[in-house]
């Protein structure tokens, strides 16, 4: 009898578990779509909710819920939800995770869900295509620029170099001098924090360096451009003190540093009655001027319970009209909207020349931050390989060689 | 004569017993035994959540484990953390318990002081220590005031693991201290009086009377501490994320990285089987050893 009970209990439990895991059949009744995002910014949420409410007027059966997840563990949380049989219907996807999501077959193609797809900038969609099909829509194609606290510079008696003088050497000098005179920090590479090294692409691209070749097969860390870029960065951190040292927290938007490299969507963090600021493109490096883009995409998950309804909503969410609304936070991939006029309406904080120099030129000429299939594992290996670099007197060439030794087997996978 | 009824007293008692333990049994099956079996089953598969693949690969994940260049470093980090934690935690807890067992003014205050971290939320505790241990944080500020240039605690290879161990020791030393205090107060006073009458030194009294009589508590605390130390996760995740390099990547954190960050759920399951076996082996070993070093068991 003991055995029978045990077997029955196990069978019942297995049955319950498999029932949880399986997708439910689609019905004609009301559906609730869940879209995961990494933004809990009240202004963003208000706009999303407004778009969803407008959609409900024509699709009374469809309710869309926006589920803001913490940015630091965003991809991990989404994949865990997928593993647990609780996949979101629609998910934002970070550029770093794009190759994994696009190539894995986890997403449904969006070609039929995008109005006027010919309008999308090819540089913006490159990362999101698989065999010619659009698997994700890059709703945010946001170039990196340098925000400058002009009040702090003035206090330190520094002037911001312009034109040809806006180079990494001069940027570092001004940052170091301002830090020394004000007791604040100089230049902060936002979200780098000596962990997310992909943000350093905003620096090392100025030397023409790349983490790996375009085909993703050859490591670029031990190449001369990267060695030069990292030597510069190491000196700027530990000798010139132009950048905060490891473990030093400084938030530009709280007035704690002279400059920060960040995406333009961060302008929303600036307060109207706060310090004086300006936004300029990334400084020129030895290999000339350059631009770097961070992207966010939207994908419809195959494992979601209402894939067809989700595709319909994505069509609405990404339509030219809604894309223009979203443009105030997220630079759109639509070429017809990439002009100073449209963007100025949506970004009252930014001046037309800032939009032209940083946003429009940036999207046209920019390269997307490094990404690769299996990016989480590669990023972890690079991060731990770069750790010995972040102390005074480090052997830059040796450390970078070590990074390549660590990631070569992963790049070859 | 009628045939004996099926429901004998014994059978009825058994049924009652089973009915009573069913709720607990269901919980144990659903949340302990079944996951245990499933983890072993998963460890025999290549399971990528994103690609929705779940393929039987036999012992391939175990082969991968044997060839994994990171695994020896992970085991070393785990051993370093566990040994460091157990030695420091038990040593300090016993010392504090002996000191606070004296009949002196203010001992209650110190008992509360050392126990209070136990009831603080682990995450809050760890996050605050993260701030204190920053390069420009509170600890180095204090050291600076007395003219010492403190290291970058959480970012240099030599101090990162030691810092994590110490943060954890202070978090939990109070619990072991209270257990030791209870044990110390259970030692009969007449034994001490007899020993003193015979002219035994305080050290001899501690070694010959106190230690043997509290040895069951030492066994209990060492099992709890060892098993707990192998499950350390939040502290690593908040303070160091396994770095610098892989110097603080302990087994549970590595398992988390493989399964949840690199999407390799099968390999993650393999690592948790290894963790299970290590915990099992250590617990069995300690239980066996009790025959040799626990002198007094109720």
Please write the tens of the pLDDT for every residue from A193-243. Answer: 898 899 999 999 999 999 999 889 999 999 999 999 999 999 999 999 999
What is the pLDDT averaged over residues A350-365? 84
| pLDDT (0 to 100) of residue B116 | 93
Find the residue in A nearest to B52 (Cα): A106
How far is Cα A75 from Cα B262, in angstroms, rounded to an integer? Answer: 10
Strands B45-48 vs B53-56: parallel, antiparallel or unpaired: antiparallel
| Cβ burial B156-175 (10 Å sphere, 16+ → b, else e) | beebbbebbbbbbbbbbbbb
Measure B119 CA to nearest chain A CA, in Å: 26
Question: Average pLDDT of chain A?
Answer: 88
Q: Check CB contact under 8 Å for A106 and B51.
A: yes
For A51, the 3-state DSSP assignment is: helix
Whether residue B50 and residue A303 make contact (CB cut-off 8 A), yes or no, is no
Tens digits of per-residue pLDDT, A293-350?
999 999 999 988 899 999 999 999 999 999 988 988 888 889 888 888 878 876 777 8
Tell me how close the Cα of A374 comes to any Cα of chain B, in angstroms. 7
Q: Do B51 and A9 touch (CB under 8 A)?
A: no
- Label residue B296 by pLDDT band (50, 70, 90): low
CA B72 to chain centre: 21
Cβ distance B135 to A388 less than 8 Å, yes or no, reads no
Q: How far B106 CA lies from chain A's nearest CA (Å)?
A: 39
pLDDT band at residue B103 under the 50/70/90 scheme: confident
Nearest CA in chain A to B18: A2
What is the structure's pLDDT at A1? 40
- Please answer yes or no on whether B152 and A376 come within 8 Å at the CB atom: no
The ipTM estimated for the assembled molecules is 0.75
Specify the 3-state DSSP secondary structure of A177: helix
Cis status, amide bond into B94, omega within 30 of 0 = no
Whether A246 and B137 lie within 8 Å, measured CB to CB: no
Superfamily of domain A25-142+294-367: Periplasmic binding protein-like II (3.40.190.10)
Averaged over A165-170, what is the pLDDT? 96
pLDDT at A174 over 90: yes
Q: How far is A311 from chain B (nearest CA, A)?
A: 19
User: In the predicted model, is pLDDT for residue A40 greater than 80?
Assistant: yes
User: Which residues in chain A are classed under CATH 3.40.190.10?
Assistant: 25-142+294-367, 143-292+368-412
Contact B52 A303 (CB under 8 A): yes
Q: Is the CB of A246 inside 8 Å of chain B's CB atoms?
A: yes
- Which residues in chain B are closer than 8 Å to A9, comparing Cβ atoms? 25-26, 29
Compare CB distances from A377 to B30, B156, B262 and report the shortest one's residue.
B262
Q: Which whole number is the average pLDDT over A54-69?
A: 94
Asked if A18 is an interface residue toward chain B (Cβ–Cβ < 8 A), one would say no
pLDDT at A138: 94
Work out the minimum CA distance from B211 to partner chain A, whole angstroms. 44
Minimal-distance CA residue of chain B relative to A377 = B262
**pLDDT for A74-103, tens place per residue?**
998 998 898 888 999 999 999 989 998 998
Nearest to A248 among B18, B134, B157 (CB): B134
- Return d(Cα B99, Cα A255) in angstroms, integer: 49
Q: Which residues pair with A140 in a beta bridge?
A: A296
Residue A25 pLDDT grade (very low, low, confident, very high; cuts 50, 70, 90): very low
Residue B295 or residue B136, greater confidence: B136
Interval A98-145: pLDDT, tens: 998 998 889 999 998 898 888 998 888 989 999 999 999 999 988 999
Selected residue with higher pLDDT from A247 and A289: A289
Instruction: Judge whether A228 is closer than 8 Å to chain B, CB to CB.
Output: no
Q: Name the architecture of domain A143-292+368-412.
A: 3-Layer(aba) Sandwich (3.40)
pTM of this prediction?
A: 0.81
**Residue of B134, B139, B138, B174 whose CA lies nearest to B154:** B134
The pLDDT value given to residue A3: 42
pLDDT band at A255 (very low <50, low <70, confident <90, very high): very high
Q: Which of B244, B255, B236, B235 is nearest to B71 (CA)?
A: B255
Q: Which of B261, B267, B268 to mutate to test the interface with A (most CBs of A within 10 A)?
A: B261
| Choice among A14-18, B52-56, B179-183, B266-270 with the minimum mean pLDDT | A14-18
Distance from the Cα of B261 to chain A's closest Cα (Å) equals 6
A109 at B interface, C-beta within 8 A:
no
Domains within chain B, CATH numbers bracketed: 9-56 (no CATH), 65-293 (1.10.3720.10)
């Amino acid at each position: 009898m003991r055995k029978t009970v045990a077997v029955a209990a196990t069978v019942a439990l297995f049955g319950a578990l498999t029932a949880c895991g399986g997708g439910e059949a689609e019905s004609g009744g009301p559906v609730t779509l869940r879209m995961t995002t990494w933004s809990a910014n009240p202004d963003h949420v208000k706009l999303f909710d407004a778009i969803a409410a407008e959609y409900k007027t024509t699709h009374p059966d469809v309710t869309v819920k926006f589920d803001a997840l913490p940015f630091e563990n965003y991809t991990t949380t989404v994949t865990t939800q997928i593993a647990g049989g609780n996949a979101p219907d629609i998910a934002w996807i970070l550029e770093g995770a794009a190759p994994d999501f696009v190539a894995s077959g986890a997403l449904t193609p969006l070609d039929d869900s995008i109005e006027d797809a010919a309008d999308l900038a090819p540089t913006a969609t490159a990362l999101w295509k698989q065999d010619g099909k659009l698997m994700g829509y890059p709703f945010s194609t946001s170039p990196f620029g340098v925000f400058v606290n002009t009040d702090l510079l003035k206090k330190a008696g520094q002037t911001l170099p312009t034109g040809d003088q806006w180079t990494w050497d001069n940027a570092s000098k001004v940052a170091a001098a301002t830090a020394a005179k004000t007791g604040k920090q100089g230049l902060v590479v936002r979200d780098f924090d000596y962990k997310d090294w992909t943000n350093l692409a905003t620096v090392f691209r100025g030397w023409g360096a790349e983490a790996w070749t375009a085909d993703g097969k050859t490591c670029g860390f031990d190449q001369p451009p990267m060695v030069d870029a990292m030597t510069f960065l190491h000196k700027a951190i530990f000798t010139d003190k132009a950048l905060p040292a490891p473990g030093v927290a400084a938030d530009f938007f709280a007035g704690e540093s002279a400059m920060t490299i960040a995406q333009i969507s961060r302008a929303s963090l600036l307060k109207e009655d706060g310090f004086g600021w300006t936004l300029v493109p990334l400084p020129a490096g030895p290999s000339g001027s350059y631009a770097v883009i961070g992207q966010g995409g939207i994908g419809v998950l195959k494992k979601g319970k209402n894939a067809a309804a989700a595709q319909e909503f994505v069509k609405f969410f990404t339509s030219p009209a809604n894309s223009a609304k979203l443009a105030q936070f997220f630079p759109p991939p639509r070429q017809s909207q990439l002009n100073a006029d449209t963007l100025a309406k949506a970004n009252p904080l930014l001046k037309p020349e800032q939009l032209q120099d940083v946003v429009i030129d940036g999207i046209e000429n920019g390269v997307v931050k490094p990404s690769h299939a299996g990016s989480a594992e590669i990023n972890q290996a690079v991060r731990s390989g770069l750790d010995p670099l972040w102390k005074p007197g480090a052997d830059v060439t040796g450390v970078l060689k070590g990074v390549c030794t660590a990631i070569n087997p992963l790049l070859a996978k | 004569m009628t045939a004996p009824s099926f429901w004998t007293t014994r059978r009825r008692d058994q049924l009652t017993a089973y009915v009573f333990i069913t709720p607990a049994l269901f919980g144990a099956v659903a949340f302990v035994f079944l996951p245990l079996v499933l983890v072993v089953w998963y460890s025999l598969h290549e399971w990528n959540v994103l690609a929705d693949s779940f393929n039987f690969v036999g012992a391939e994940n175990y082969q991968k484990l044997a060839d994994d260049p990171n695994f020896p470093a992970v085991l070393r980090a785990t051993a370093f953390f566990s040994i460091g934690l157990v030695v420091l935690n038990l040593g300090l807890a016993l010392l504090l318990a002996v000191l606070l067992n004296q009949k002196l003014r203010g001992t209650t205050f110190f008992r509360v002081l050392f126990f209070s971290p136990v009831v603080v939320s682990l995450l809050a505790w760890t996050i605050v220590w993260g701030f204190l241990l920053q390069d420009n944080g509170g600890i180095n500020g204090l050291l600076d005031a007395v003219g010492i240039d403190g290291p970058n605690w959480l970012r240099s290879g030599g101090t990162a693991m030691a810092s994590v161990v110490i943060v954890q020791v202070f978090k939990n030393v109070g619990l072991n201290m209270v257990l030791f205090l209870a044990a110390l107060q259970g030692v009969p006073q007449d034994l001490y009086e007899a020993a003193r009458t015979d002219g035994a030194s305080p050290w001899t009294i501690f070694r010959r009377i106190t230690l043997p009589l509290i040895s069951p508590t030492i066994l209990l605390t060492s099992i709890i501490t060892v098993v707990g130390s192998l499950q350390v996760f939040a502290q690593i995740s908040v303070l160091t994320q396994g770095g610098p390099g892989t110097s603080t990547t302990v087994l549970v954190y590595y398992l988390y990285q493989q399964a949840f960050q690199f999407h390799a759920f099968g390999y993650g399951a393999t690592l948790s089987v290894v963790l299970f076996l290590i915990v099992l082996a250590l617990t069995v070993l300690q239980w066996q050893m009790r025959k040799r070093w626990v002198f007094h068991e109720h």
